[in-house]
Structure formats: structure tokens, C-alpha cells
A and B are shown apart, each in its own frame.
Chain A
Amino acid sequence: DGGITQSPKYLFRKEGQNVTLSCEQNLNHDAMYWYRQDPGQGLRLIYYSQIVNDFQKGDIAEGYSVSREKKESFPLTVTSAQKNPTAFYLCASSPLAEWGDTQYFGPGTRLTVL
């Protein structure tokens, strides 16, 4: 059963704490992405990675960090430096085919900072 999994579905954090969101895919996709979604706004790209051990900043990378040690895993750490971390976080992956780059999304993690 191929797909993208994100865990946990809901996450609560106290101010000042770092927290790591998990994203795993078994689709053998090369590229993985992290987005943040806030009410009434589109998705904003945080980080993306097209190959293992390499990743690039997106539009709103400040206060976040990622790693890509394995092709199937792309964890996102929300650090205490992120000023407004409460949001819905979506992970996606894509095969990087020459004919286009359809992205497939996980179910999301809702992070709430208390």
C-alpha cells in the first residue's frame, strides 16, 4: 500500500520547545517537500529536497530545519525561533519525471503551540 505518511496527526508544544514532524514515503519518489498552511491562505513552501543529503530553502524557511538522510524520509523540525508555529503542516513527494512534477500529499500534521 504505497503512500505518504505523516505523524503525529495532532501535536501540541509548549513555547520554547523544538518539535520534529515525521514524513515518510514508500513511493520511491526523488523529491520531497514541506508546506505550511494557514487559514485562508494557500500553501507556502518551507523546504524541499530533490536528492538524498541535499535540500533547499523555500519561501518561509526561517525557524525551521530539515534533513534528508534517506530517500524515503524527510523530517521537519520546528525550532523555538519560529515566531508563529501554530499551523497545519503538509508533506509532499514527487517523482521528478521529465514530463512534469505532480506532487502527492500526506494527510498533514496540525501543530498547536500552547
Chain B
Amino acid sequence: GEDVEQSLFLSVREGDSSVINCTYTDSSSTYLYWYKQEPGAGLQLLTYIFSNMDMKQDQRLTVLLNKKDKHLSLRIADTQTGDSAIYFCAEEAPGDDYKLSFGAGTTVTVRA
């Protein structure tokens, strides 16, 4: 199966930018997703990017995709305390019955 890897922890000062990184192994991935999970809650879809795109921006969120290196990143501008959560990267590979492979999640802590 596919392997999706993320660093486990990120600490960032309020107002700074956060960058969460993810690497994946399946070069045929079609869609890559970022989800956010707050404590004790389900996963909330933040954004996704199609594999033929290099970048996608949505308000404070910027997704960068480097297909050559199989590297995905999520940048959160002007990080707020409400951004403290676990962020999951996930990939969907074609022909895999619409299943997603998730990374272990990056816990982002925003400090004042």
C-alpha cells in the first residue's frame, strides 16, 4: 500500500506562518487532501489539490505540490490559536477503490 509521512509536531508563534510537510510514495496519486482535526472531533476537510496542479490558494491556506519529489505542503498564513489541531495529509490513488491513505498527522501548537 501507499505510505504517507508527516512530521509529528510543529510549534508556531501566533501571527507567524505555519508550514506542514507531507511526503507520499504513489506517483500515480490523483488527489491529495489536507484535513484538520480538533480535540475529540472528527476530521474536517480543509482543502485538496489535483495532481496536475502545482499550487492552490484558499484564503489563509496555500497548498504546494511537488510531484517530482512527491512532496506536499500546507502553509497557514497569520496562524491563530484556533489553528491548533492535528493536520492530516491524505492521498487518493486511481484504481484503488476510492480509498484514501492517511499520514499519522502533525500536531500544530500555536503559542502566544
Residues of chain A having any CB pair with chain B under 8 Å: 4, 6, 31, 40-43, 45, 48, 50, 56, 58-59, 90, 92, 94, 96, 100-108, 110
Contacts and interface: CB of A to CB of B under 8 A. Distances in A.
A96 B4 contact: no
B33 A102 contact: yes
Interface string B36-59: 000011111100101000000000
Contacts of A96: 98
B100 A103 contact: yes
B99 A108 contact: no
B19 interface: no
21 contacts: A6-B42, A42-B4, A42-B103, A42-B104, A42-B105, A43-B88, A45-B99, A90-B42, A100-B30, A100-B48, A100-B92, A101-B31, A101-B98, A101-B100, A102-B33, A102-B45, A102-B48, A103-B45, A105-B35, A105-B42, A107-B42
Contacts, number: 57
Interface of B: 1, 4, 8, 30-31, 33, 35, 40-45, 48, 50, 88, 92, 97-105
Contacts of B8: 40
A31 B4 CA distance: 23
A4 B43 CA distance: 11
Nearest to A58: B99
Contact of A48 (B40, B42, B99, B101): B99
A42 to B, nearest CB: 4
Those 10 A-B pairs whose CB atoms lie nearest each other, nearest first: A42-B102, A105-B42, A101-B98, A105-B43, A43-B102, A100-B31, A42-B104, A107-B42, A108-B42, A106-B42
A2 to B, nearest CB: 14
A109 B97 CA distance: 25
